[in-house]
Chain A
Amino acid sequence: AQSVTQPDIHITVSEGASLELRCNYSYGATPYLFWYVQSPGQGLQLLLKYFSGDTLVQGIKGFEAEFKRSQSSFNLRKPSVHWSDAAEYFCAVGASRGGGADGLTFGKGTHLIIQP
Chain B
Amino acid sequence: DTGVSQDPRHKITKRGQNVTFRCDPISEHNRLYWYRQTLGQGPEFLTYFQNEAQLEKSRLLSDRFSAERPKGSFSTLEIQRTEQGDSAMYLCACKTERLTDTQYFGPGTRLTVL
Contacts and interface: CB of A to CB of B under 8 A. Distances in A.
B102 A90 contact: no
Contacts, number: 72
B44 interface: yes
Contact of A98 (B4, B55, B99): B99
Contact of A44 (B43, B98, B99, B100): B43
Interface of B: 2, 4, 31, 33, 35, 40-46, 48, 55-56, 59, 91, 93, 95, 98-108
A101 B108 contact: no
Interface string A38-57: 00011111100101000000
A32 B37 CA distance: 21
B42 A103 contact: no
Given A98-B95, A103-B56, A109-B41, A42 B107 contact: yes
Interface in A12-46: 34, 36, 41-46
Interface of A: 4, 34, 36, 41-46, 49, 51, 90, 92, 97-99, 101-109
Nearest to A106: B42
